[in-house]
Every structure is written in C-alpha cells, then in structure tokens.
Chain A
C-alpha cells in the first residue's frame, strides 16, 4: 500500500497529490512516470512524476479529472492509500546542455513540463517557459515555472490571462525576443502538441513531445501503448514517452485514444451516479 500524504485541488478539477513510495522516490528522474492502481477493481493509470522528495520517500503527481479513475482519485485524501504504485517507468534521458530551450505546457501538460524545465535549467540552459490553458482558473504551476525559467509567457484561450490565444502563437514570439532557440519541449493535449510540432516545423526548430498513449502494464508487455514514430511502431511506455515530435503520427494517436470512449463514458456515469447514491445512503444511516 502506498499512503497518500497530501492532496489538494490546485485548479478546478486538477489535483496535486503526494504519495509515499520510497523506492520510486529514490529513483525517479525528470521524464519518468508511474502507473498506479487505486484498489482491487481498479485499472492501471499512468501519471508523470512531477517531483520527488527522496529523503521522505515522497512522489509528487498532478492529475486532471477526466474520467472514472481520476474522478475517484480526486476523492482520496491523507489517511487513504493507493493499492499499487509502480515505477519509475519510461526512458528519462538526462537533458544536457543545448543552449536555449522553450518549455511549452498546455493545460495539465504543464505538470510533466515542469521537472524537465527544472532539469534544463540546472544543466545550464537558458529556459523560456510557455504556459497555456483554456482560462485563467485552469493555469497551473505558473509560480513554479516562473521560479524555474528565465522568462515565462502565459496565454489563455479566452484571454482571461496573458496572451489571448494559443501557445503556438508564443513560440515565434519567444524566438523573436530571445534569439535562436535550440530545442523545444511541448507537452499537452494531442491537438496542442500537434499544432506545436507543425509550428516548430515551419520555424525549423527541433521539438520533443511526451505522448500519453493508453497503457496497461507500462513495461513493454502488452503493446497497448503503441504509436507510429518515423513510420515504425514503437511502444510509448518503454521506448518513450518522449519522442521527436516531427516523426509522430498524431492522427493515429488521437484515434487510439478514443478507442474506449463508450466504455469510459459508461464508467464515468456509473461512478457519478454511485457517488450521489452513496451520499444519500450515508445521510440516511
């Protein structure tokens, strides 16, 4: 069992979670993820390791409520425990010194960007952050990004904070204001990554993305997470999750992410209904 030490809603539907998992905490590096399982009937869900406190054996995760499992996790608090946390998983090549790096996070994608941004900074790079969200309330980790980066640009779809528009608008702007960019890291929803890759293609910038394919085991055993990169089938969990964005078949990835849409809807509806029902029963008892 892996005890939950803290959970806090940092934006509507987005939660910060600290869980005790000693072995993971001592090994995880930027770029790694874990797979967790809430309980005996739970599914295995991947979440990026945002940070660790190895001395205390703590792992920091940030997740957005999108379906049944994440909604259920949002109901966990200190005193509860996760049945399984396995990791660190994925390849986490050290960032190295490349020069000027643009770290672009869209929505909850800013969570996996932050540890990489910190690592790039520590390795001596100039790090420019671009953080986007649908609206002001959904912007996360703004302060942490500002503490880490040399400069952070913000944008919102509705203009409620920062630039009114998309992260892709800010990539050329950042380049114009800070001179040559050597590397771009873009993580967020698939349409955002796809657009960022297209923009970087126009500007001739190398871009790395982190893919969120559906997973089961996370150890290379099932192939559920396969994606086409450079015309070759790769397994996101063991060959990624980071890949050269220019090589990724995003259309296929989007289609594969929709594979269980009907089942996911059913599970979420049942869970919502049960939660309501449960509350009524509680009050009755």
Chain B
C-alpha cells in the first residue's frame, strides 16, 4: 500500500521571503493517487470527526474517479466554504484523526483532497492547478427563482456570518450582512495570512455569496452605526449575530504597553487587512524589529511568527509555557514554522517586558517551567522552576495568548444576556435572550475554529427559517 501523499510546498528558503501560499495544492495525479488509497469503508469513521458531516467517503470516491466537479457538489451539500476548510481545518484532530488509516499514522489527506475538489471542481475553473480565484458557490438556480421571503440581517462577516447568510439566501431570504471593518471575512480577512489562505479564495467565496443575492454592507458597527431597534424598524424579521472573539488579551505583566509590544490581532491586521507589508506603497506602517518573541502556541502565534519572518525579522521565537505535545496549533503549521526557521522555546512563561528610556522594548524576561499534574483541560499544568529566569533580548513582543468576545454589539444591545465569560448566551436553538436574535460562532463558544463557526451559522440559519415559518 503506498503511503500518504505529501503536499507540494514552496521550499522553506524561498517562502520565508514572500507572502505567497505555502501549500501549493495537490496535482490531479497526486489527488487521484491519494483518493484511491481510501478504503471506502462501509461505516466510515472519518465523517464522525467532521463537525459538519462532509460526506468524505463519497467525495473522495468521486475524486478517485477523476470527477472533482461531482466531488465539489457533494461537499457543498454540507460545507459551503470547502476551499477555506480544506486549507485551515485542524484535520489531524477532526476528520483525519478518525480515519482508519490514522492508526498507522497515515490517514487519508482529507483536507488536501477537499481543497483539491474546491480548487479544481468548479465548473468555471479557468486554469486547473491554480484555479482558486474562480472557485465559488455557483448560485443554485432554484433560489433566485423562488419568491423572496423576509429580510434577515447578519451581524459580522466571519465564517459564522457568511455561512448563515448563504444558507438563508438559499432558502430565499433577503439577507444583508453588516460588517464593521472596511472589508468582509472576519478573521479570514484580517487574521489568517495570505500565505495560508489567499485572499483570492475568500474573495471568490464572497462573490459567490453576492451571486446568491446576499448584500454585504461594510463600515457598519451594529450597536453604534445602527442599533438592533433600527434593524427591526428597517424591516428585518430576524438577526444572526456572528461578531467573533476579537478582543485581544494581553499578558498582564509589566511593560505590556511599551512600544514594540503588539497584540497578534494588531500585528496581523496591520499586515493582512491594511497591507502594511507594502508600506510605504500603502499608508499603514508596521514595526517588525530584528528579534521577535511571539508568546503563545496556537494558530494565532504561528501566523504572527511566520508573518514577522516574512516582514524581515532576523530571528523569530515562539515562547510557549507548555511543551511541544500541548501546542494547540495545527500540526502542519507547526511543521511549516519549524521548516522556515522559527525557534521554539518551550516551558517558558513571560514575567516582564523590559524597555529602554524611550519606551521601546529591549527584552522579554521569562521564567522556566516544568510540567506538573494534569489540570482541568487534561493537559499537564506548567509550574515555575524556582530561580530559573532569563532575559531574551528582543525588540518586538507579540502577544498571542487568546481573545475575548468582541464588545460592541453586546455593550449597545440592552437586554442581551451573556455568560459568565462574557459570551452571548443562547438556548439549544441558538436563540439569544432576545426573540428573533440568534447567535453563533466565536461570540458564543469563545475562540474556536472556522468549521465550528460555520456549523453554528448553518444551524442558526436553519432555526431562523423555522422561526420565520412559525415552526419554532
């Protein structure tokens, strides 16, 4: 039996100097070979690992038969953004973890195949192999022909909001998405970098959404530019809130407001949304420095570190308080980061950021840790090693230790119940304490994943439909 195919990638030495996509995608030959490795299990366990139940066995079978277009169609029945999920899902803990081949350490490359179907399967795919820009949801003829139903507002254009919008539009609703930033996509736009998720892929999905009749209005902060009351007055019959977990947490150590200390959100937003990497051709500056420490171990930390490298930093370190086993980032991205020369400092926790007389960062003080007893999350808790402190000379510190709920919609919407953690509270149907207002994605769960946000958006759309049909 042949082993799992390797994803073709840009060589590390080259890609660390550019923002082009790292993973190049499977060729048709590789895709067919990988698809044929699938055993087409009778009761495929892989699908139980997918939060939206993509018919994995079936779509892989179709790729094996050389029909990516049919494969894409099958995927789209369950997943509206396969070009994105194929690229960013943490497959190794989801679908691929459940594949029967996982025990042998060589699960079918489900994510890569899903991406292949999306990139190659669209009917209008112009150039196979690099056809991402034309991959988009072809508007199902039925939805446009159907008489249009009530108006529904979607707040926030991240994966949760976009999925809810698409589902509602397919049901014939007239949907307007309101986004506070000047461009749609949420974290897919401002957070996840170009080299992992080309903006052309996102733009194609947004075009598909517009073809479904969805209107996207940017520069609108719901709560401030328009209130919930205004939305009802404008004739919206239901609202979906997918405002995300965008509020950055800082380290809570001395020196966190020195110049040179960024939240990952700020650093990535400057780079991605504002295209600071083209400064001075664009107007937003960014200061990367020569030696950069990124604190954290998730996808956000990997993205920040690899962005800093591409912006010209000489040395980039990930400082993480647990060990390699506990790194929450996608495994593929940890490997990519290592290949590109990012240094990992495990079992170190920041205790202080040191600055000079001008208020500029000059060092990060860390405390060495060791792993103790397992904590509530089941991971072994890091405990300080007495006396083991060290100062790492750096000129930039990027804090990537997590985010809380975006504050504005909640703050300016009276009567909206929240949880102890500040997230929006919802019932089993995804409905908030306000009738007709549903919520999902990171704003409900706390920072999670793209596919979970999409799943929540889809489910909420379904419940909104039921509510508006009088079934809820």
Contacts and interface: CB of A to CB of B under 8 A. Distances in A.
A4 to B, nearest CB: 16
Contacts of A41: 275, 278, 281-283
A53 B17 CA distance: 50
A238 B223 CA distance: 12
Interface string B388-413: 00000000000000000011100100
Contact of B247 (A27, A85, A86, A220): A220
Contacts of A228: 257
A259 interface: yes
A43 B283 contact: yes
A27 B359 CA distance: 38
Given A41-B282, A84-B182, A259-B287, A223 B225 contact: no
A181 interface: no
Given A238-B407, A267-B285, A84 B218 contact: yes
A259 B355 CA distance: 13
Nearest to B246: A221
A260 B221 contact: no
Interface stretch (B43-51, B89-97, B265-273, B306-314): B265-273
A86 B182 contact: yes
B266 A222 contact: yes
A256 B259 CA distance: 6
Interface in B141-197: 180-182, 190
Given A87-B221, A87-B224, A238-B408, A222 B250 contact: no
B219 interface: yes
Contact of B406 (A84, A220, A227): A220
B216 to A, nearest CB: 14
Nearest to B252: A233
B359 A84 contact: no
B256 interface: yes
A86 B225 contact: yes
B103 interface: no
B284 A43 contact: yes
Contacts of B275: 41
B218 A220 contact: no
How many chain A residues sit at the interface, stated as a range, is 35 or more
A43 B274 contact: yes
Which of A23, A258, A266 counts the most chain B CB atoms within 10 A? A23
A263 B285 CA distance: 6
Interface in B191-232: 218-221, 224-226
B288 to A, nearest CB: 12
Which of B283, B287, B408 counts the most chain A CB atoms within 10 A? B283
B266 A223 contact: yes
Interface in A1-43: 23-24, 27, 37, 41-43
B259 to A, nearest CB: 5
A221 B182 contact: no
Interface in B16-60: none
Interface string B231-259: 00000000000000011101000001111
Contact of B248 (A223, A251, A252): A223
A68 interface: yes
B256 A233 contact: yes
Interface string A148-189: 000000000000000000000000000000000000000000
B104 interface: no
Nearest to A38: B283
Contacts of B258: 255
Which of B181, B278, B287 counts the most chain A CB atoms within 10 A? B181
A56 to B, nearest CB: 18
A75 B411 CA distance: 38
Contact of B285 (A86, A219, A251, A260): A260
A263 B280 contact: yes
A80 interface: no
Nearest to A221: B246
A23 to B, nearest CB: 5
Given A86-B220, A216-B266, A216-B274, A23 B246 contact: no
B358 interface: yes
B445 to A, nearest CB: 18
Contacts of A85: 219
Contacts of A233: 250, 256-257
Contacts of B263: 222-223
B224 A42 contact: no
Nearest to A228: B257
Nearest to B260: A259
Contacts of B180: 86, 217, 219
A121 B28 CA distance: 73
Contacts of A256: 257, 259, 359
Contacts of A27: 224-226
B246 to A, nearest CB: 4
Which of A220, A222, A259, A270 counts the most chain B CB atoms within 10 A? A222
A7 to B, nearest CB: 19
B220 A23 contact: yes
Contact of B269 (A216, A255, A263): A216
Interface of A: 23-24, 27, 37, 41-44, 68-69, 83-89, 216-217, 219-224, 226-228, 233, 238, 251-252, 255-256, 258-260, 263-264, 266-267, 270
Given A27-B224, A222-B269, A226-B250, 7 more contacts: A44-B182, A220-B406, A222-B248, A223-B250, A224-B266, A226-B257, A264-B285
For the complex of A and B, the 10 pairs showing the least CB-CB separation, nearest first, are A255-B359, A263-B285, A222-B266, A43-B283, A86-B219, A221-B246, A223-B263, A43-B284, A84-B182, A41-B282
13 contacts: A23-B226, A27-B226, A43-B283, A220-B246, A220-B406, A221-B247, A226-B250, A228-B257, A255-B258, A256-B359, A258-B259, A260-B287, A267-B283
